[in-house]
Amino acid sequence: MRAAIPTLAAGLMLALAAPARPDCSSVSFDSDFPIQLNLVGTTAGVPDALGETVFVLYDITHTPVPDCELSIDFDGCTGIRLASVQPWAGVTVECGAGPVGVLKAVSDEFGRVTLRVVGGASNTTSGSPANAFACAIVTAGPMQGVLNVGAFDQNGGGGATPADVSVWLADAFDGDVEGRSDYNGSGTVSPADLAVLLGVILAGGSTQSASAYCH
């Protein structure tokens, strides 16, 4: 009987060291993938709540899929810049060799992935190269989606200020659709987006830019 004790203990330790993970491959089209993610600044170190974006992962029976990694590939997003340190709990960034970077986070017990992503754009002068509409690719298990990426901190410095409105206006009037300046995923750069940007500036949750960017 003595020999059974260490065997049992070893089995328990193994179970503790490697908990069973739900099968990420069960993530289905029933999941909630938003089409819009707006990059934010911080105030007192806290990422702006006005950029909070929630994904919910479900299987085919609408049962939440917890503990599943969701990734967002921003490398197709010209001119978008990710903070190289992401202060929102559970968000990790892999700056990588590409031009922008990849973000990762894991779903909670309700299948939710709640993100506040710190970053901006490089819209410093009229006509600065911009990300196209829906430039990012979201992956969770077998499911993929596209995501438009807006940036309240258009010029990547000083937080969200009237200077960002100034360069936003150039995007609004040039007839193109710069993803960075579309904050509601409509595929247009319109007064509705300006209202969002002004609301962010007035609310004061994006007063500081990232201290360092991936690229």
Site residues for Ca ion per CB under 5 A = 153, 155, 158, 164
In terms of DSSP H, where are the helices of the chain? 4-17, 162-173, 191-203
Least distance to Ca ion, CB of residue 170, Å: 14
* Burial of 158 from C-beta contacts in 10 A (0-12 / 13-18 / 19+): middle
Least distance to Ca ion, CB of residue 209, Å: 6
Query: In sequence order, what are the residues at sequence separation of 6 or more whose Cβ sits closer than 8 angstroms to the Cβ of residue 215?
Result: 81, 95, 99, 100, 101
Least distance to Ca ion, CB of residue 39, Å: 11
Q: What's CA 120's distance to the chain center, in Å? A: 12
Of the pair 38, 155, the CB lying nearest Ca ion is at 155
Of the pair 164, 171, the CB lying nearest Ca ion is at 164
Least distance to Ca ion, CB of residue 66, Å: 37
Q: What does the CA dihedral 160, 163, 169, 171 come to, rounded to 10 degrees?
A: -70
- In the DSSP assignment, the letter for residue 132 is P
Least distance to Ca ion, CB of residue 51, Å: 14
Of the pair 70, 130, the CB lying nearest Ca ion is at 130
Of the pair 56, 172, the CB lying nearest Ca ion is at 172
Tokens of 51: 């950029």
Of the pair 11, 204, the CB lying nearest Ca ion is at 204
